[in-house]
């Protein structure tokens, strides 16, 4: 059996009931086959792949907090410190009722390669909790965040592990966590990113994932003889990534016609009104029904079981920006049938493996999340730099660095795909380019 297959079987056997983690590992290992086979003896002897798929450290902890009725609630807390070969662990904290260890491991594993692709010195990690911030009062969210950090603060720090936002964790949650970390440690340091601008946050971090997604998409289209201007774009999600992806797409001259949340989706043929969307989602924390109520041109569709939502709408470019496995084979077929020619992932692993293969086979340009959404973590690393030198850069400075990083990422993965005889396969290109830097650093640092 080949080394890659052996390691994949081991991952399934040793990590039962973690399908998302298996899926993420499978996709990466499949792409690496050609690289591994060229140097199999050495990698096998060093157990390089076994070490790569095994987190350096996994923290599981209890998070007790008191709700507004005086009732004690208990959630599960997670932090997976996956790989520190090229820098301190770096990655977000997801707060969503679906969170479990397998989901955090898939996200942490992806983060290793994503962070490598940014070209910046950051290792891979991820964390979170099955706490649901939806419908909670600010005081309840604060109580949860303080309890979460009271345990996690022992294991993080500006030079060891630097968490940030993800689904359910935005500026409010990062603020409460930062305050508690500072209170417990007495340190005013860059231990979290995505901070508010008055206490060490970076300009353009809020916009970075969505903007970066569009900078990369623009470059991918340009290198394939196409232009984003004048195109119709379908976006899923209506959170941090989706909102700023829509904003930048419109600035670049495209028309965004859809957004969604977990209960429904909007079709707005006149183009999404981003200012209204921000008011509904960022200020009121309300459902998309409020967007539809305030805008004549918008159709609201309730999400029903088995219904395929935003991907049934005719578009040129699709940007999934909500969650994992939200774009399946049927969606991919609908996109291709409607003439969609490019898909770039704003979310982490939103496209199933079958859907990815179908899109690639049908000539759709496909950029995986670990490259396409790397602008968020890249700008987090720029926030770390600013915190270390105790300076703040202008919006234009950060935004122009972000754009350069995204353009470079695209060319790195495009070059890697060509070098290994898989021109145009950006999934393989991203996995190979991300892997090679981490593998070299792990090898140089010996058996640790």
CB of 121 to ligand 2IT, least distance (A): 13
- If the CB atoms of residues 153 and 195 are measured against ligand 2IT, the closer one turns out to be 195
- If the CB atoms of residues 90 and 403 are measured against ligand 2IT, the closer one turns out to be 90
Judged by CB under 6 A, which stretch of 47-55, 165-173, 352-360, 439-447 contacts ligand NDP? 165-173
91 binds, among ligand NDP, ligand 2IT, none (CB under 5 to 8 A by kind): ligand 2IT
Q: Determine, following the binding rule CB under 6 A, whether residue 209 of this chain makes contact with ligand NDP.
A: yes
Active site (annotated) includes residue 69? no
Whole-angstrom CA distances from 200 to 93, 205, 269, 367, 384 are 19, 11, 40, 32, 9
Distance CA 189, CA 154 (A): 14
User: What is the contact mask toward ligand NDP in residues 304 to 333, using x (rule: CB under 6 A)?
Assistant: -----------------xxx----------
Distance CA 310, CA 264 (A): 10
| Number of other residues whose CB lies within 10 A of the CB of residue 397 | 15
Give the three-class secondary structure for 2.
Answer: coil
- If the CB atoms of residues 7 and 372 are measured against ligand NDP, the closer one turns out to be 372
Distance CA 26, CA 218 (A): 29
88 binds, among ligand 2IT, ligand NDP, none (CB under 5 to 8 A by kind): none
- If the CB atoms of residues 75 and 193 are measured against ligand 2IT, the closer one turns out to be 193
Query: 57-66 and 72-83: which strand pairing?
Result: antiparallel
Enumerate residues 6+ apart whose C-beta is below 8 A from 188. 182, 200
Q: Determine, following the binding rule CB under 6 A, whether residue 118 of this chain makes contact with ligand NDP.
A: no
262 binds, among ligand NDP, ligand 2IT, none (CB under 5 to 8 A by kind): ligand NDP
90, 105, 114, 126: the catalytic one is 126
- If the CB atoms of residues 8 and 96 are measured against ligand NDP, the closer one turns out to be 96
CB of 164 to ligand 2IT, least distance (A): 3
Whole-angstrom CA distances from 412 to 308, 348, 421 are 34, 20, 14
In degrees and rounded to multiples of 5, residue 125 shows phi and psi of -160, 165
193 binds, among ligand 2IT, ligand NDP, none (CB under 5 to 8 A by kind): ligand 2IT
CB of 375 to ligand NDP, least distance (A): 8
Chain positions contacting ligand 2IT, by CB under 6 A = 90-92, 114, 164, 166, 193, 348, 376-377, 380
Go through 23-50 and write b for each residue having 16 or more CB atoms within 10 A of its CB, e for each that does not.
bbbebbbbbbeebbeeeeeebeeeebbb
Distance CA 230, CA 156 (A): 45
Distance CA 185, CA 181 (A): 6
90 binds, among ligand 2IT, ligand NDP, none (CB under 5 to 8 A by kind): ligand 2IT
- If the CB atoms of residues 53 and 347 are measured against ligand NDP, the closer one turns out to be 347
Go through 251-261 and write b for each residue having 16 or more CB atoms within 10 A of its CB, e for each that does not.
ebebbbbbbbb
240 binds, among ligand 2IT, ligand NDP, none (CB under 5 to 8 A by kind): ligand NDP
Helices (H), 48-100: 48-52
Q: How many residues in the shown chain lie near ligand NDP by CB under 6 A? A: 24
Q: Which residues bind ligand NDP (CB under 6 A)?
A: 96, 98, 165-168, 209, 237-242, 261-263, 321-323, 346-348, 373, 376
Catalytic positions = 126
């Amino acid at each position: 059996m080949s080394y890659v297959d052996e390691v994949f079987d081991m991952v399934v056997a040793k990590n039962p009931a973690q399908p998302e983690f298996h899926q993420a590992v499978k996709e990466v290992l499949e792409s690496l086959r050609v690289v591994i086979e060229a140097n199999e003896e050495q990698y096998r002897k060093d157990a390089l792949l076994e070490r790569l798929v095994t987190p350096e450290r996994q923290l599981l902890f209890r998070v007790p907090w008191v709700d507004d009725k005086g009732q004690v609630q208990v959630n599960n807390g997670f932090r997976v410190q996956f790989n520190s070969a090229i820098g301190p662990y770096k990655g977000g904290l997801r707060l969503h009722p679906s969170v479990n260890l397998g989901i955090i491991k898939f996200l942490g594993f992806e983060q290793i390669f994503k962070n490598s692709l940014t070209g910046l010195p950051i290792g891979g990690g991820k964390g979170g909790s099955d706490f649901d911030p939806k419908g909670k009062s600010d005081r309840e969210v604060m109580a949860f965040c303080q309890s979460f950090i009271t345990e996690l603060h022992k294991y993080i720090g500006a030079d060891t592990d630097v968490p940030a936002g993800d689904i359910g964790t935005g500026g409010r949650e990062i603020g409460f966590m930062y305050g508690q970390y500072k209170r417990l440690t007495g340190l005013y340091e860059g231990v979290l990113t995505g901070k508010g601008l008055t206490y060490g946050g970076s300009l353009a971090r809020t916009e970075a994932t969505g903007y970066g997604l569009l900078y990369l998409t623009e470059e991918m289209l340009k290198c394939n003889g196409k232009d984003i201007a004048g195109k119709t774009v379908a976006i899923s999600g209506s959170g941090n990534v989706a909102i700023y992806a829509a904003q930048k797409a419109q600035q670049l001259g495209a028309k965004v016609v859809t957004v969604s949340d977990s209960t429904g989706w909007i079709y707005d043929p006149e183009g999404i009104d981003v200012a209204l969307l921000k008011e509904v989602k960022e200020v009121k924390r309300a459902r998309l029904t409020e967007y539809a109520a305030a805008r004549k041109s918008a159709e609201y569709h309730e999400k029903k079981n088995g219904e395929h939502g935003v991907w049934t709408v005719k578009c040129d470019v699709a940007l999934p920006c909500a969650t994992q496995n939200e774009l399946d084979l049927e969606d991919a077929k609908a996109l291709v049938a409607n003439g969609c020619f490019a898909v770039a992932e704003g979310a982490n692993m939103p496209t199933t493996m079958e859907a990815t293969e179908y899109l690639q086979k049908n000539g759709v340009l496909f950029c995986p999340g670990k490259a396409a959404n790397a602008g968020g973590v890249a700008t987090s690393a720029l926030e770390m730099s600013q915190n270390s030198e105790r300076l703040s850069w202008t919006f234009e400075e950060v935004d122009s660095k972000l754009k350069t990083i995204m353009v470079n990422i695209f060319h790195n993965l495009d070059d890697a795909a060509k070098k290994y005889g898989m021109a145009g396969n950006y999934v393989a290109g991203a996995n190979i380019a991300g892997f090679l830097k981490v593998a070299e650093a792990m090898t140089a640092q010996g058996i640790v």
